[in-house]
């Protein structure tokens, strides 16, 4: 079987992780070899990102890209083994989030170029789109907020994602629907790709 690299993008609270788990379970029930991975990773660099620190937005962007450089090596290996790789966030997250962090100083060309050097283009990218108020409500129900989980910031991230999705041809899915319905829509697209 030919491997497949599938990415799930979206603002915080859009349901990426739960959709990944549901899709994995469904595909495995049909005998497919599936791996779920995420960024930031569990590597030393990924742990540094999650821990946070007094990083400038540029430094943080470079840390995400460094983490991705190592992760991409693993992704290529898994796909070459014929596995279906489901990834919770990839390069578009850096473009959307770091551009929002950099604000008016955002250099999208620089963010794009540094990511192109260490990324591969996914076979499918799903943007799970949700209103930031609803997304943050979901985040609040699961407890705790990261430094990225604030309404005005999430609005800017969502705007960035919509621009990226249009430019890159992502499949945009209404993530405000029931999560089973969202997963079903995703599975339909994946199975169409596998035919």
3-state secondary structure labels for all residues of 50-109: HHCCCCCHHHHHHHHHHHHHHHHHHHHHHHHCCCEEEEECCHHHHHHHHHHHHHHHCCHH
Pull the structure tokens for residue 166.
């249009």
The domain 4-194: what is its CATH number? 3.40.50.300
Q: What's the confidence (pLDDT) of residue 175? A: 96
Summarize pLDDT for 45-61 with one digit per residue, the tens.
Answer: 999 999 988 898 899 99
pLDDT of residue 145: 54
pLDDT for position 144: 55
pLDDT (tens place) for every residue of the chain, 195 residues total: 679 999 999 999 999 999 999 999 999 999 999 999 999 999 999 999 999 888 988 999 999 999 999 999 999 999 999 999 999 999 999 999 998 988 777 788 899 999 998 999 999 999 999 999 888 887 866 655 555 567 888 999 999 999 999 999 999 999 999 889 999 999 999 999 988
- What are the boundaries of each domain within the chain? 4-194
Instruction: Calculate the dihedral angle through the C-alpha atoms of 187, 189, 194, 195, rounding to the nearest 10 degrees.
Output: 110
Q: What is the pLDDT of residue 173?
A: 97
């Amino acid at each position: 079987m030919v491997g497949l690299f599938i990415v799930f993008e979206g603002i915080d609270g859009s349901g990426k992780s739960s959709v990944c788990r549901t899709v994995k379970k469904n595909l495995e029930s049909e005998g497919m070899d599936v791996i779920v991975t995420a960024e930031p990773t569990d590597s030393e660099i990924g742990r540094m990102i999650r821990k946070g620190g007094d990083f400038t937005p540029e430094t943080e962007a470079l840390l995400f890209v460094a983490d991705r450089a190592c992760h991409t090596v693993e992704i290529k290996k898994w796909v070459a083994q014929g596995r279906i790789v489901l990834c919770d966030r990839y390069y578009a997250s850096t473009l959307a989030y770091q551009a929002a962090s950099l604000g008016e100083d955002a250099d999208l060309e620089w963010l794009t170029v540094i990511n192109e050097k260490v990324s591969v283009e996914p076979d499918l990218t799903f943007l799970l789109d949700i209103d930031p108020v609803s997304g943050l409500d979901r985040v609040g129900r699961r407890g705790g907020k990261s430094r990225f989980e604030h309404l005005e910031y999430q609005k800017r991230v969502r705007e960035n994602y919509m621009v990226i999705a249009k430019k890159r041809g992502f499949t945009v899915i209404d993530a405000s629907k029931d999560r089973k319905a969202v997963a079903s829509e995703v599975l339909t697209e994946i199975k169409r790709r596998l035919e």
